């Protein structure tokens, strides 16, 4: 171990004891220890990706921090093989090598001493000399050791390209032993395959590897990336050709002709589809192949359902006297139209109407399936109607045997009537799967609020259907008496109309004016963790913080970190694991942000972390559905903390109390009427907005941009034909 100290620079070999803090930009604070120096704090972006147990050679300068005291500001971090007995024991017992925990690490190092890593590397069969290590455990350790060495080597390669070493494990998870070859020969293959790698990252690797800026492969990768980004970020199903060409030309710094040739080449390979705009034949548009196929398929299946003869048993039924005229029209529509839509704002009786529809179909001898896009929305639907409900994902994934009390006796999608609530959340992919599963003659009823945000995924299915004249629909507009007294309902309807709610509010809606974003963040955390729980005599988990954006001091990342430290801080001796800027602890509230059909969890569900197991390198969660699911440390980018979530991810959920910052950080680009309306309608008892009045006015008056979709004209054309 070498320690070089001087007035300006220090080089020290140290063991990483624990991570203290990791910021979104990868700035990392860690506690490390070195012989002759003891334990101290090291900080800097150069530490990105270090894990407890690793031995690193740090180069930097000493300074003093008001909180941490003396610290080493790191300019260079190099991973080295631990050489001392203590460092080797710490390394093996840290969980970096799956299958080895602290006790087994102690036994292995006690047996082999300083030669431990050499034995694992060159004579791994000798591991069976250690008690509790059999052939199976020995093979597991050898495989995990090889993976860790490969990932460490990838980290060095990535750092040489100026790319975050945090991506190494993700790349290895996808490409395995071929990772090095992919980086060297075709880094554009990383795009879309490795989460967190878009064009900019792959392009940096490619250009530093000598790929020419005018390479057709480079420009084609940029075209695909712009289409994928438009779908993921803005929900577009296609881009107009001129807009796509301009965006790609700017991205790669090349002329338009080269981009046009790249688009033509991709079209020839059937990776993209270039066609006349469904709504404007004079304009060319470009789809990613998958988006085009889904949009065409969805239009076809909806046309099939709309034109099929109903198989719903029709018998005389007594009209429910509790319904108003519009609600009775909605019931009749659901019974007579094979595809129909019911829309309406809060307090307009959608849930009661659904309950009557389901009861009427059952009384006529038919079967009903009630579904919603998320687990929370399905539970809420079940509570409001008193009938069983499932998620759309599970509806499509299973074919249960008939059970007593269920409303369906075949596949749930083959019921006489399939009802999907919160239909504004249906994206193109899920809607296509749903429509394809319903047999001709079955009825599909979509229920939702067309003024809410569109789906997280690409498409705007509900809004598109409402633009097709041939789709039967009823809009419920009457706000019932019991809802008129709700300040939340009153505020929501004013926002939907483009009017500022009465301020500061009352009856469940409240606006607290603060201008400084830092003060807003502090106030939101205090309200969510202290003020509201104390005043309402509830626990803090009954309060949900919703944010219009991710970044900034009032975004989901920073507020989520503050809330976690307040509600579930680090505990001495309790295991935790850092994955990028997120630390996972038992007791954390989390949310899957990707559908994982193998695990049976879906985007938008919520769960609680029940265990963090460093030895097996996994965490265990228990979903609100009561299911236990395990995620390896390499899969944690599929989970997000749920202390503060985006308004988009709150769709379909209802919370007793909601607190939200409303500030114009970063220009307030996310502040729009649909977002504010969706936010307000997520609260059941109280919603408290904290922020700038001008930002609130901006949100009320600014409307959202329509997504580029072709479903409406495709379906209208199919019905006309």
pLDDT digit string (tens) for 453-505? 999 999 999 999 999 999 999 999 988 756 677 899 999 999 999 999 999 98
- Does the annotation place 547 within a ligand binding site? no
Read off the tokens for 325: 């005229």
**Mean pLDDT of all residues in 323-348:** 94
Cis peptide before 504 (omega within 30 of 0): yes
φ, ψ of residue 656 to 5 degrees: the values are: -55, -45
∠ at Cα 633 (148, 41), nearest 5°? 75
**pLDDT single digits (tens) 397-426:** 754 443 444 344 457 788 999 999 999 999
Distance CA 508, CA 658 (A): 10
Residues 6+ apart with CB under 8 A from 416: 311, 312, 313, 361, 366, 367, 368, 442, 443
Distance CA 110, CA 131 (A): 11
Distance CA 575, CA 29 (A): 18
pLDDT at 8: 59
pLDDT at 666: 56
Strands (E), 624-682: 628-632, 639-641, 644-646, 655-662
**Mean pLDDT of all residues in 588-601:** 88
Distance CA 45, CA 392 (A): 43
Confidence category of residue 721, pLDDT binned at 50, 70, 90: low
pLDDT at 636: 92
Read off the tokens for 419: 């009802």
Beta bridge partners of 387: none
First to last CA, the chain: 79
Q: Answer whether residue 537 shows pLDDT above 90.
A: yes
Distances (CA, A) of 180 to 151, 172, 433, 634: 10, 9, 37, 18
- 3-state secondary structure at position 266: helix
Confidence category of residue 68, pLDDT binned at 50, 70, 90: low
Percentage of the chain exceeding pLDDT 90: 69
Distance CA 199, CA 250 (A): 13
Instruction: Of 71, 56, 73, give the one whose Cα is nearest residue 159.
Output: 56
Distance CA 491, CA 255 (A): 50
Confidence category of residue 10, pLDDT binned at 50, 70, 90: confident
∠ at Cα 304 (301, 305), nearest 5°? 90
pLDDT at 573: 87
Confidence category of residue 667, pLDDT binned at 50, 70, 90: low
Rg (CA), the chain: 28
- Asked if residue 503 lies in contact with residue 481, where contact means CB atoms within 8 angstroms, the answer is no
Q: Which domains does the chain have, with CATH numbers?
A: 10-79 (2.40.50.140), 85-152 (1.10.150), 161-209 (no CATH), 216-291 (1.10.10.2220), 308-397+410-479 (3.40.50.300), 487-569+579-701 (3.40.50.300)
The DSSP output letter for 635 is G
- How many other CB atoms are found less than 10 A from the CB of residue 461? 30
Beta bridge partners of 11: 4, 59
Distance CA 172, CA 176 (A): 4
**pLDDT single digits (tens) 18-62:** 999 999 889 999 999 998 888 999 999 999 989 999 999 999 999
- 3-state secondary structure at position 431: helix
Distance CA 242, CA 285 (A): 8
Beta bridge partners of 619: 612, 631
Instruction: Of 560, 539, 530, 593, give the one whose Cα is nearest residue 661.
Output: 560
pLDDT at 344: 93
pLDDT at 611: 97
Read off the tokens for 514: 């603060």
Q: At what angle do helices 85-93 and 102-112 cross, to 10 degrees?
A: 150
Distance CA 670, CA 676 (A): 10
Strands (E), 413-536: 417-420, 443-448, 473-476, 505-506, 509-513
Most confident by average pLDDT, 266-270, 482-486, 653-657? 266-270
- Does the annotation place 347 within a ligand binding site? yes
pLDDT at 3: 45
Residues 6+ apart with CB under 8 A from 367: 361, 407, 408, 409, 410, 415, 416, 417
Q: What is the mean pLDDT of the chain?
A: 91
pLDDT at 408: 43
pLDDT at 328: 93
Dihedral sign (CA 17, 557, 655, 231): negative
**Mean pLDDT of all residues in 88-103:** 88
Tell me which H or E stretch contains 171: helix 168-175
Residues 6+ apart with CB under 8 A from 158: 164, 165, 167, 168, 183, 205
Q: Answer whether residue 69 shows pLDDT above 80.
A: no
Burial of 70 (0-12, 13-18, 19+ CB in 10 A): exposed
- How many other CB atoms are found less than 10 A from the CB of residue 309? 7
**pLDDT single digits (tens) 676-701:** 999 999 999 999 999 999 999 999 99
The DSSP output letter for 619 is E
Residues 6+ apart with CB under 8 A from 323: 331, 349, 352, 353, 356
Read off the tokens for 534: 């104390």
Distance CA 96, CA 98 (A): 6
∠ at Cα 190 (188, 192), nearest 5°? 105
**pLDDT single digits (tens) 198-255:** 999 999 999 999 999 999 999 999 999 999 999 999 999 999 999 999 999 999 999 9
**Mean pLDDT of all residues in 564-593:** 94
Instruction: Of 542, 479, 543, give the one whose Cα is nearest residue 690.
Output: 543
DSSP output for 89-117: HHHHHTTSSTT--HHHHHHHHHHHGGGHH
DSSP output for 315-379: ---PPPTTS-HHHHHHHHHHHH-SEEEEEE-TTS-HHHHHHHHHHHHHHTT--EEEEESSHHHHH
- 3-state secondary structure at position 617: coil
**pLDDT single digits (tens) 111-166:** 999 999 999 999 999 999 998 899 999 998 999 899 988 998 898 899 889 888 88
**Mean pLDDT of all residues in 641-647:** 96
- Does the annotation place 350 within a ligand binding site? yes
């Amino acid at each position: 171990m070498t320690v070089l100290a001087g007035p300006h620079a220090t080089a020290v070999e140290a063991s990483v004891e624990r991570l203290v803090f990791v910021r979104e930009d990868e700035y990392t604070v860690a506690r490390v220890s070195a012989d002759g120096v003891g334990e101290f704090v090291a900080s800097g972006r150069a530490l990105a990706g270090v894990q407890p147990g690793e031995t690193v050679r740090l180069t930097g300068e000493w300074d003093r921090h008001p909180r941490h005291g003396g610290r080493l500001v790191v300019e260079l971090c190099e991973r080295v093989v631990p050489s001392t007995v203590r460092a080797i024991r710490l390394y093996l017992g840290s969980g970096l090598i799956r299958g080895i925990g602290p006790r087994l690490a102690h036994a292995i190092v006690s047996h082999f001493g300083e030669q431990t890593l050499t034995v694992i590397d060159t004579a791994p069969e000798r591991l069976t000399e250690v008690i509790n290590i059999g052939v199976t455990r020995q093979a597991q350790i050898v495989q995990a050791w090889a993976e860790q060495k490969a990932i460490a080597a990838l980290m060095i390669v990535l750092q040489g390209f100026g790319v975050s070493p945090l991506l190494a494990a993700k790349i290895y998870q996808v490409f395995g032993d071929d990772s090095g070859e992919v980086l060297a020969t075709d880094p554009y293959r990383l795009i879309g395959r490795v989460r967190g790698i878009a064009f900019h990252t792959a392009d940096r690797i490619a250009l530093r590897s000598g790929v020419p800026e005018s390479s057709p492969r480079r420009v084609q990768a940029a075209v695909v990336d712009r289409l994928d980004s438009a779908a993921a970020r803005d929900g577009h199903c296609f881009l107009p050709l001129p807009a796509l060409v301009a965006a790609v030309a700017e991205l790669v710094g090349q002329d338009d002709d080269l981009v046009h040739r790249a688009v033509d080449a991709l079209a020839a390979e059937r990776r993209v589809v270039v066609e006349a705009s469904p709504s404007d034949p004079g304009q060319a548009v470009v789809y990613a192949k998958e988006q085009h196929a889904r949009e065409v398929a969805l239009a076809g299946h909806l046309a099939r359902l709309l034109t099929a003869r109903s198989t719903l048993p029709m018998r005389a039924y007594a009209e429910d006297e509790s319904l108003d005229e519009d609600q009775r029209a909605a019931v009749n529509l659901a019974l007579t139209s094979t595809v129909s839509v019911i829309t309406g704002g809060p307090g307009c009786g959608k849930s009661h109407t659904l309950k009557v529809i389901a009861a009427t179909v059952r009384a006529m001898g038919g079967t009903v399936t009630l579904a919603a896009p998320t687990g929370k929305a399905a539970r809420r639907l079940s509570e409001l109607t008193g009938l069983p409900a499932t998620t759309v994902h599970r509806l499509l994934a299973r074919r249960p045997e008939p059970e007593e009390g269920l409303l369906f006796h075949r596949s749930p999608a083959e019921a006489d009537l399939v009802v999907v609530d919160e239909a504004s959340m249906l994206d193109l992919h899920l809607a296509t799967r749903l429509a394809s599963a319903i047999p001709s003659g079955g009825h599909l009823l979509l229920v939702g609020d067309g003024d809410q945000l569109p789906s997280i995924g690409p498409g705007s299915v509900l809004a598109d259907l409402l633009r097709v004249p041939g789709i039967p629909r009823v809009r419920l507009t009457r706000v019932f008496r019991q809802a008129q007294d709700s300040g939340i309902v009153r505020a929501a309807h004013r926002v939907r109309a483009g009017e500022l709610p009465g301020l500061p509010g009352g009856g469940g809606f409240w606006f607290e004016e603060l201008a400084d974003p830092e003060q807003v963040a502090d106030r939101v955390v205090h309200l969510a963790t202290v003020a509201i729980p104390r005043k309402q005599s509830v626990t803090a988990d009954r309060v949900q913080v919703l944010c219009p954006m991710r970044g900034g001091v009032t975004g989901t990342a920073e507020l989520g970190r503050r809330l976690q430290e307040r509600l579930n801080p680090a505990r001495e001796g309790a295991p935790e694991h850092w994955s990028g800027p997120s630390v996972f602890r038992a007791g954390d509230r989390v949310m899957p942000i990707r559908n994982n059909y193998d695990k049976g969890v879906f985007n938008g569900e919520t769960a609680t972390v029940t265990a963090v197991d460093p030895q097996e390198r996994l965490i265990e969660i228990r979903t609100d559905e009561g299911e236990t699911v395990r995620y390896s440390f390499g899969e944690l980018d599929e989970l997000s903390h749920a202390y503060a979530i985006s308004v988009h991810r709150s769709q379909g959920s209802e919370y007793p109390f909601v607190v939200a910052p409303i500030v114009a950080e970063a220009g307030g680009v996310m502040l729009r009427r649909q977002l504010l309306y969706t936010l307000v309608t997520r609260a059941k008892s109280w919603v408290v907005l904290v922020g700038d009045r001008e930002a609130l006015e901006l949100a009320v008056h600014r409307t959202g941009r329509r997504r580029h979709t072709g479903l409406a004209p495709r379906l209208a054309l199919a019905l006309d034909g």
